[in-house]
Structure 1
Amino acid sequence: MNYLTERQTISIPIPEEFRQNALKFAREQLTPTRGRQVYLNTLAVQVVNTYLQMLDIPTDLESSYVWQPYRRLIDDVADLVLTGVGRLECRAIRTGDRICYIPPEVWDGRIGYVVVEINQTCKEGKIWGFLPNVTTSEIDIDKLHSLDELIERSHLISLRAWLENMYTTEWQTVEEFTRKRKPQFAFRSIKRVRGLKLESPDIVWQIIEQFYPNHSWQKGLPSKFMPKKFNNRCEELEVNNNSNISSELLDILVHLIRTTEDEETRWTLAEILWTLQPNHPAVTARRVMDLGMQLDGSAVALMVAVLPKPDQTVAVLLRVYPMNHVYLPLGLQLAGLYEDGQAFLEVQARGDDDYIQLKFCAEFGERFRVRVGLNDAVITENFVI
């Protein structure tokens, strides 16, 4: 590990505007001690924001918790949202400090931690370095990693950020993607799952009971989901573009998605849910990107979907679709790769595949690559959970 030296720090001037923002937020606090902490937190975040903007790394300062009155009142936060990547914690120290304090409430939900030294006049901030994670309240600044690691991480596609509804612009919802590309894009408009057309609630129950025979789907179901009308599963429900879908049926699908231990079941139920209600919050971490490549005359798109699991890991689904043909070109390859480039999953299109897919589970913090290719044409995208 390459630790920092004095020459690797980055100094950023702190203008009057930054100090005025910090003073405004500090005056909202209930005690002088909290006010001083919020003042330094706000300066540190603005310093890091300036540095990242200099590198053309997109940020969203106003979406950060530190910019929200209620959050900075109750929590010791100093986060900066990197667009489509996640929240970066920016912690302040004063000149001469060698230890940086990281409060336990920010040990989770961050893509990393940056330490910023604020000088005595509060007119300069010195960025000392980066850590990808922390497990202790005190950090020795001599043990910080190079800022190059932060820059590298900022260019990864963060699937954890997707679970917090943060995306970069090139990743669109399926509906946005289809609307802009019709009639060329080959996503199917017919609502089918497992070969069955979802034209009534009875079909949905039929699929559920394939996975949960003898009503075993009811096991562990919270009592609030068990009103009397579920004794007759054939509710009056029309599943089409303009229907009002039973909220109870949606709640049961969400519960089963979150609790099942079988990955095939999880993804089938998720596909039912996003077919019935694409914008349901339980399945919105699903995006599509035009890969911008022609493979044997066929343009293709990559869809990535993420589902959180009860064991605090995530389930990942990768799919490649044709955009201007019915089928993918024969021999098209989709692969999931470790960081070193070694494949852990691969699939290849046959002559009649309208999509190919891979499914796997991963832990938060893990990195992987997705490779799509045919013959000499290859494109790779880099992800982090």
Structure 2
Amino acid sequence: MDSITQLELQISAAIDHRAWQHSQRYSMPKAQWTAYLNQVCLETVLPWLQAEYASRSTASLTAWDLIQGCAIEWNEKRLVLIPEKSFDTSELRVPQEWIDVPSWVGDYYLAVQINPDESSLRIWGYTTHAQIKALGQYDSSDRAYSLNAQFLVQDMAVLWVMRQLYPTELTRVEVTELPSVAETQAENLLQRLATVEQPRLEIPFTMWGSLLETRSWRERLHQLRQGRNPNTTVATNLRQWLENSFTAGWSAIEAWLNPEELAFSFRQTEIVELTGVRRVKPLEFAEQTVLLMLALAPEADGRVSIRVQLRPAERSQCLPMGLSLSLVSASGDVVQSVQAREQDNSIQLQRFKCPAGTEFSLQVALGNAVLTEAFQC
């Protein structure tokens, strides 16, 4: 195969392991597989793109387990990557959401073939939103557009050249705005979609598309489908951690970061060197997955010493600018807070000591999305 024509990348063992762990949060096989493909695709292609063509490229949209595909902002254009395990390269099939939901529309659509057995992926062709709308065939049975391979450009070098020579190339066309969904109706729909195999096919596309466009609803559905209800947070008992009884969802740091990664950032030394218990939990935002890391140790006076850090799940990435980490008291007061700046690869709170029985929460926020973890010492 001509390596100039079709881009091939290796999937690292760390990315493969992390994506598989993430996928196991979902109870349904299709959801697990979709989440796995999306994460492997994004975490393999984005670092390569940043290193080779545009260091400021960022992940902009991922549908987790809901829809195959993920999006990257690249030189003021949006690349939509559609990962498939199938070895059929006769056509590109793109879920309707990436074509007809206005805020999800991309400029270029890349066909990505993933081979988990060989830990590799291949980008075998690309096209534009305008071409899919003009030449693609819509299939109502699975709400997808298909485009015959003959209409795809299979030399990926052409894409980079076209962006340089024809920066004003028409890549996308207008799509119809979707009607809004009332908040009460949206909540009812989210509860209904939380337990079905294919939520994207369960309700009319206009309603489904409207739910996806509202970020808070999209993220709430994601949490519900993992069995987590954001409105009924249960406090994690940290004393039990000190007795080696751990809460579901929290893993040993070593399960996520290998020794090389642990040594990568000198700002991690406080987390790494603190004796006691160290646990990590992945938190997913639209932009990327971040790791919430806690390290705690008992004090002689009965209190618990706690350090908290936030870092990207993928070492090559930085935290999204503006992402905040806050310590909130039981009464709702913000005790301390820190915010990620441009190019920050970790942020952390100052160490604090927690008396027995004290309740607090950690809030991780990005824009309107807020994830909260409650604790009791």
Q: TM-score range by the shorter chain?
A: 0.3 to 0.5
**Which of structures 1 and 2 has the bigger CA Rg?**
1
Q: Normalised by the size of structure 2, how large is the TM-score?
A: 0.35
